Structures are given as structure tokens and as C-alpha cells.
């Protein structure tokens, strides 16, 4: 549709005002938030939210706390809840400090993984590296909690058994060989997620992910990225390999001598470069 508009310098693709939504020649538009569409002139326009995710919650202090100087404290916090949290299967959240917290309090907050349905409150760690105490008032906003889809693995279930009563120094966590393998697998998964699909496999990926959900698309993308060297990039990179050997039983047959074949004109220049 074409409309003559005068708008501010906003970098959005389109800006629909009330003059278009309500006073269009084809009749007023229907805004269906439950379906995430705007029906305008009989066509469905998808509404895509840009910005903070719905899974991000506000984290507030559950009580009044005093963080002693040069110490680390574990305090209780409330994480904003929604009506469906009681029956939801995804209740694991990562709690992290907000920019406002970092600018307001001279404290350091450690990122922590919590299950919001395990207890009425959750616990976070705050470090005060300064020689004076810091007050935190009840209901103060300390951070934000973002929902995670799943936990791939747990490196260690508890701290070093000999360090359980150590409240005055850094505690150690003992890792087994299996834990180190888990760390390597997680690092590999993160590395694959941050890589893009190679150009020579993009068409194969687009064909393979038809009618697939997001999780299946990620699995296919990681597979193609991990084994990208196994796919031919062009007609000239297929050659010999020294990675494996196998015998060919020819019996008593004599070697066959053939005259060399001419290189096609289309590959003449490439043959000269080699």
C-alpha cells in the first residue's frame, strides 16, 4: 500500500498511525494481539516485538540487607512471577545484574542459575570489596532474570567436600575427567552456535530445514558447520587423499595403458594455474 506521510527520522521499516489504522479507505484495521497480526484491507500483517524478551523478569531484594565491608554475602531476592509459572516446565533462570545496579551500588553480583519454583525466594551472591558497609533496601531492583531453554549438563553437584566449612577464602571445585569432557563439549557447542553456515552449504541448509522447527534447524546447522570440510566447495577441489589406503585386487591382469585425456576448454585455465 502507498501513503503520503511525514514522519520523524525513525529507522523502522514502516510506521502505522491511527490515521491509517482507523481511517483507511478500505475500512478500519483489526488489531488481533492474541494472534500477533493486524488485519488491514483483508491482509494479515504480522506484529513482531523488538526489544526485551518476555522471559526477562525483574529481581528485587526480599528484605533489608547490610553487606559488611570486604566480604561476600548471600541474600534472598524475589523474582517476578507470572500466572503460568506454577505449571510451567521451564523454571530455570539466569540472574544477572542490571546496568542500574552497577551504577547505583559499589557491589559485584555473581551470575547465578536458580529454579524459581523450588523456594519462595531465590539467593544471589554479592561481593563488597570496599572498607565500608553497603545498605540494600527492601524491594530494591538488583538485577534481571532471563529464562533459559534447557540445562545441557552440570559440571559439579557440590563444592569440594573439604571446603564446606571454609567461609573466609576462595573455595575449590574438584573436576573429574568426565567433567573436563563435558566442558570441552559445551565449549564446542558454543563455538558452533557462534559460527555461520558456509556459503557453499547455504542452499543445502535452506532445502533441509523446510518444515523444521527452530530446534531441528539448529541441529542441522551445527551438523553442516561441524562437517563442512567433508562437502565439496566446487568442481576443482575434488582430488586425491592420503588419509586412507585400500587395495584393489586385479588378479593376473596386466596394467592397462591409456593415452592421456585432453583437459576440457572450460578447465584449461585452472589446469595451467595448478
Take residue 240 and report the three cell numbers written for it.
586425491
Q: What is the pLDDT of residue 87?
A: 74
For the chain, the three-class secondary structure string (H helix, E strand, C coil) is: CCCCCCCCCCCCCCCCCHHHHCCCCCCCCEEECCCCEEEECCEEEECCCCCCCCCEEEEEECCCEEECCCEEEEEEEEECCCHHHHCCCCCEEEEEECHHHHHHCCCEECCEEEECCCCCCEEEEEEECCCCCEEECCCCEEEEEEECCCCCCCCCCCCCHHHCCCCCCCCCCCCCHHHHHHHHHHHHHHHHHCCCCCHHHHHHHHHHCCCCCHHHHHHHHHHHHHCHHHCCCCCCCCCCCCCCCCCCCCCCCCCCCCCCCCCCHHHHHHHHHC
Q: What separation in angstroms does the CA of 59 have from each of 14, 114, 124, 256?
A: 35, 12, 10, 79
Q: Measure the CA–CA gap between 238 and 246, rounded to whole angstroms.
A: 18
- 158 band by pLDDT with thresholds 50, 70 and 90: low
Phi and psi torsions of 205, nearest 5°: -65, -45
Domains defined along the chain, listed by start: 1-50 (no CATH), 56-151 (2.70.40.10), 199-225 (no CATH)
Handedness of CA 74, 76, 81, 87 (dihedral sign): positive
- Is pLDDT above 70 for 160? no
What pTM does this model have? 0.43
As a whole-number percent, the residues of the chain with pLDDT over 70 amount to 75
59, β-bridge pairs: 79, 143
**Residues 121-157 pLDDT 10s:** 999 999 888 888 899 999 899 999 988 876 666 666 6
**Residues 69-117 pLDDT 10s:** 888 888 999 998 887 777 777 788 899 998 888 888 989 998 888 888 8
Contact assessment for residue 99 and residue 126, using Cβ atoms and an 8 Å cutoff: no
Amino acid at each position: 500500500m502507498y501513503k503520503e506521510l511525514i514522519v520523524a527520522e525513525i529507522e523502522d521499516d514502516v510506521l502505522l498511525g491511527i490515521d491509517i489504522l482507523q481511517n483507511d479507505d478500505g475500512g478500519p484495521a483489526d488489531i488481533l494481539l492474541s494472534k500477533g497480526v493486524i488485519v488491514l484491507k483483508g491482509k494479515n500483517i504480522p506484529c513482531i516485538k523488538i526489544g526485551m524478551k518476555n522471559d526477562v523478569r525483574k529481581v528485587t531484594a526480599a528484605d533489608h540487607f547490610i553487606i559488611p565491608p570486604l566480604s561476600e554475602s548471600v541474600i534472598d531476592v524475589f523474582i517476578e512471577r507470572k500466572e503460568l509459572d506454577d505449571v510451567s516446565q521451564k523454571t530455570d533462570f539466569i540472574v544477572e545484574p542490571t546496568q542500574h545496579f552497577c551504577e547505583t551500588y559499589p557491589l559485584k553480583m555473581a551470575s547465578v542459575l536458580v529454579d524459581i519454583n523450588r523456594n519462595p525466594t531465590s539467593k544471589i551472591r554479592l561481593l563488597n570489596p570496599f572498607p565500608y558497609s553497603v545498605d540494600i533496601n527492601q524491594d530494591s531492583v538488583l538485577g534481571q532474570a532471563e529464562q533459559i531453554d534447557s540445562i545441557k549438563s552440570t559440571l559439579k553437584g557440590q563444592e569440594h567436600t573439604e571446603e564446606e566449612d571454609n567461609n573466609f577464602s576462595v573455595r575449590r571445585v574438584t573436576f573429574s575427567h568426565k567433567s573436563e569432557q563435558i566442558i570441552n563439549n559445551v565449549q564446542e557447542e558454543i563455538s558452533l552456535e557462534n559460527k555461520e553456515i558456509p556459503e557453499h552449504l547455504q542452499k543445502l541448509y535452506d532445502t533441509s530445514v523446510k518444515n523444521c522447527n527452530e530446534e531441528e534447524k539448529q541441529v542441522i546447522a551445527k551438523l553442516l558447520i561441524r562437517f563442512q570440510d567433508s562437502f565439496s566447495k566446487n568442481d576443482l577441489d575434488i582430488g586425491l587423499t592420503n588419509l586412507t589406503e585400500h587395495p584393489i585386487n586385479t588378479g593376473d591382469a596386466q596394467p592397462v595403458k591409456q593415452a592421456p585425456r585432453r583437459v576440457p576448454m572450460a578447465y584449461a585455465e585452472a589446469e595451467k594455474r595448478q
